[in-house]
Structure 1
């Protein structure tokens, strides 16, 4: 079992691990009222405005009957509205359920139904999606449109989110949140392909920075003067987590409603962005932009990357192009924050640990176990387990799934790997076969189930293969029913409307049989190896 070492680094003043988002909102409004909290599409929201408007929204939520433990959904792109709603929910003790705006109505229906959300905020862009599922959701009694538009597509005066809370007081609510109170419920599919709501508490957004300061390390850090680019979607832990860490430190978040490499480069140059978190494919796209040389990124001090492997060639190019510190992270929604980090000092030519994902972050522990649950020695491959104070409270209404993933204080990550003799964690394969395309998780069982619904398909296996642009590409191996015929285009068209576009396989391979183990489970690793074999 490996724990983080202690080293020396300057300390910074920031909230401690016992704070809550409510505490942070009030504290920053008092100490740095005119400091920019959020910049989105060149609109600036100060800490005072964010605090007061989220207070108004909290009073409006309470007037709608929303209280402690109630689920409130948000179907929309990242903006100042999204983060204002999160704070409003925190201030009444409600739990925000962010909905992936890329999902189909069928997928949105499951999340809203499973969470039991009684109120949903929705951007006009996704109004039609909500309308398709709303009649089947009896628990959903209130819908708030965030950005009412007129017939010309311009904001209509007196409509949208600000109009909804405009007449409410901006005073603090008496609601007292605790660090272990639930605050957000993020849906993430497991190996069964069924979306599960991972419930995170306030502490998930405070424990890591506090532990970093306590141990005197700055592998990844958020400073009061930081300007962070939030380029990953806020419906996932990477986007919302990076924002919350910046917010809690008192920094400025430059929020992108949707990632675009050209716009990302412009924002970095315009606002003097100092730090960001991105998937390798996003960094590659930014580095390829015209005029994206070191002079465009002089403000950057640190980039964190993860969610997919980064090749040595791409890392070298990024180090040259962005000319700042790099830190690799390993995490999941269930860990609530970063679990393992490869520090900046490991990112140099000739480093012997670049093939690892790093060391456990301060305050965290890592172990690798065998099939019998016993801890394995260095070099032995097994299941990775993480003990972290930021970990989830559990899966919403799924005690059995929670018990399989959260065993005591340990999270069973579902990934295979080993610890070397120096305590660095090495990933070997994903035990749950998750495919990662440009930082987005895709779960094979979900896609396989959708393929199996086609009348010509007898069996299917879905895997990810390396892709230079996106990290991985989705491939499907399909067994047709006797006498049946189907083309790749027919299968692709059959999936549209049932799966988000990024989940749909781009390549189809017709085979006679699929490899399975004695219990009948598809051996996806064997499928990957066969497809990767040179012709």
Structure 2
């Protein structure tokens, strides 16, 4: 290998942060407060413990854990050794988790003994991972926290190479068996540099990790550390506990999914908390209703930055800055921003031709952020990367200024009577109604039109529940008859995935069961 132009590694970035800010507070949560030096020592001890178990560079490690300090130690230790890291879905089924362990070739499984003892025992009994250990005492495996304490906490040699696989991230499996997305050091380092250069980090960076570190929350760890900031871990979300933590820990930055923002807006006593330290709320992972985003700006101020990415090109495809969240330019509240430097983005039709500005096409990406491919899935990899573009499956349009507007997931588009209906357009319209807190729009079978538009609506707390005809007429008045729901159902809450996204697959299932096709 010619080393002159190879890139860096995540291990080297962690070591840089540990050395630069040794005396600062690095991590808060679970009753502990660790300095950078204390965090580094624990990570090196854990890395040496993993080596004692026979693990070496590019061996597979998986973890099932919540947002705990010990889980952060495991992730960093894996990166220091150049292991291939895979996070198990916290709410995944045993069969699916077993598939991931087998598909990814996992040699070591780490389980949060306090939170997942039962599932850990079940996974250990499968006999897929050669070694299973726990974080804390558990009825299976050794206690990795106690065992690692006996090892040397000085710096471990870095053996990881820039072309090594960094992690294998499994998609949610909403359309069948999960796919393992292969990311090398290149992808991780690209995302890190784009996070540092493209996002508007406050100083000091006191970052509340309020989403699972197994998913988006984990991507906040290293950029926060490289800025000399402090990570504050929240293992479970509730509006009151999040607001209390922001006040008590003087949080300046966090990442939330839209459903968490809605919950904060609907929190009756939010005004009693001091949120003056909060300078940046990053949000993404699912569409946000522009009307509720405008409400959030009125309530919390101009502190929001939207991120856009997906498992195959994580977190940093595009970004909408705080100053672009401008109530005087309401159209921008529907945008996910402009591509970050280093990403080439095009909207393409089915023949891979770029569509004109304002027209809808599939959002496609290429650049160093893009995955290597799907593990053990050559046909699906070829489809996703056809024409040397990553096909995101997101339908979007771009305006003359380069702002991207997501209109729907390709699989969520409703085709009714030959017309395309983008569910997010209907949901955005319903969010304008004063009695609607949240909605999910899906297509249901219809003998005449193929699909009919159904809206499942959660009424706003304290408001009188509207009549279905009122909401149908409301959408028709604002968006026309094609987009108007043909039926409205009410629910106390929408089904959510464990990551806080609306689970439209579950909503559709009750209507499409027994059908030969799902569109």
TM-score normalised over the length of structure 2: 0.77
User: How far off is 1:278 after superposition?
Assistant: 0.8
SS in 2 for 1:354: helix
Counterpart CA distance in 2 for 1:510 and 1:390 is 38
Query: Over aligned residue pairs, what C-alpha RMSD do you find?
Result: 3.4
Residue aligning to 2:26: 37
Cα deviation 1:187-224 (Å, max 9, x = unaligned): 1046741101112233434434535777xxx5x23356
Structure-2 change in CA distance of 1:354 and 1:85 (3 Å): same
Q: How many residues align?
A: 444
Residue 220 (structure 2) pairs with residue 242 (structure 1): yes
Aligned to 1:505: 506
Structure 2, unmatched stretches of 5+, are 1-5, 415-422, 448-497
Alpha carbons of structure 1 residues 149 and 511: separation in structure 2 relative to 1, 3 Å: closer
**Which aligned pairs between 1:67-78 and structure 2 lie closer than 5 A?**
67-78=56-67
Matching residue of 1:488 = none
Paired residue secondary structure (1:33): coil
- Asked if structure 2 preserves the Cα contact closer than 8 Å seen for 1:378 and 1:421, the reply is yes
Match of 2:518 in 1: 522
Alpha-carbon offset, residue 299 of structure 1: 0.3
Instruction: Describe how 1:322-333 pairs up with structure 2 within 5 A.
Output: 322-333=300-311
Does 2:234 align with 1:256? Answer: yes
1:287 to 2:265 alignment: yes
Equivalent residue of 1:97, what SS? strand
Which residue number corresponds to residue 109 of structure 2? 120
- Change in CA separation of 1:196 and 1:317 when aligned onto 2, cut-off 3 Å: same
CA deviation vs aligned residue, 1:119-173 (integer Å, no higher than 9, x gap)? 11111221222323433334x12111102169xxxxxxxx833212112112322
Name the residue aligned to 1:165.
148
What is the CA distance between 1:301 and its match in structure 2? 0.8
1:375 aligns with 2:371: no
Which of 68, 74, 77 is the equivalent residue of 1:79? 68
Matches for 1:449-528 after TM superposition, within 5 Å: 466=427, 472=440, 505=506, 509=510, 521-523=517-519
Provide Cα deviations, 1:7-43, integer angstroms capped at 9, x if missing partner: xxxxxxxxxx944332222222222112122211342
Shift of 1:417: 1.6
Distance 2:509 2:379 in 1: 35
Higher relative contact order (CA 8 A, sep 6+): 1
Q: Deviations over 1:295-315 (max 9, x none)?
A: 621001111112222223311
Which residue is equivalent to 1:201?
184
CA distance in 1 between counterparts of 2:309 and 2:376 reads 23
Would the alpha carbon gap of residues 209 and 147 (structure 1) be closer, same or farther in structure 2, given more than 3 Å must change? closer
Aligned counterparts of 1:240 and 1:301: Cα–Cα separation in 2: 20
Instruction: Check conservation: 1:233, 1:239, Cα contact below 8 A.
Output: yes
Seen in structure 2, the aligned counterparts of structure 1 residues 210 and 93 have a Cα distance that, compared at 3 Å, is closer
1:336 aligned residue? 314
Name stretches of at least 5 consecutive residues in structure 1 with no aligned partner: 1-16, 151-158, 436-462, 480-498, 515-519, 524-535
In 1: Cα distance, 2:446 partner to 2:235 partner: 36
Q: Counterpart of 1:530? A: none
Q: Which residue in the other structure is 2:119 paired with?
A: 129
Residue 22 in 1 paired to residue 5 in 2? no
CA distance in 1, matches of 2:78, 2:513: 52
Residue 296 of structure 2 corresponds to 318
Q: What does the per-residue CA deviation read over 1:471-505, in whole Å, with 9 as the maximum and x for residues that have no partner?
A: 648898799xxxxxxxxxxxxxxxxxxx9998683
The aligned runs of 1:81-480 (5 Å cut-off) are 81-124=70-113, 125-138=115-128, 140-148=129-137, 160-189=143-172, 192-208=175-191, 210-211=193-194, 220-222=199-201, 225-236=204-215, 238-293=216-271, 296-351=274-329, 352-407=331-386, 410-433=389-412, 466=427, 472=440
Equivalent residue number for residue 439 of structure 1: none
Say which is worse superposed, 467-476 or 27-36, in terms of deviation. 467-476
Could you list the per-position Cα deviations for residues 264-320 of structure 1 after superposition, in whole angstroms to 9, with x for gaps in the alignment?
111100111111111111012123334323862100111111222222331122112
Which residue of 53, 57, 72 corresponds with 2:46? 57
- Counterpart in 1 of 2:457? none
Distance 1:190-1:408 versus aligned 2 partners, 3 A rule: farther
- TM-score where L is the length of structure 1: 0.75
1:312-337 CA distance string (max 9 Å, x none)? 33112211222242112211011123
Q: Secondary structure at the match of 2:217?
A: helix
Of 68-77 and 34-43, deviating more is 34-43
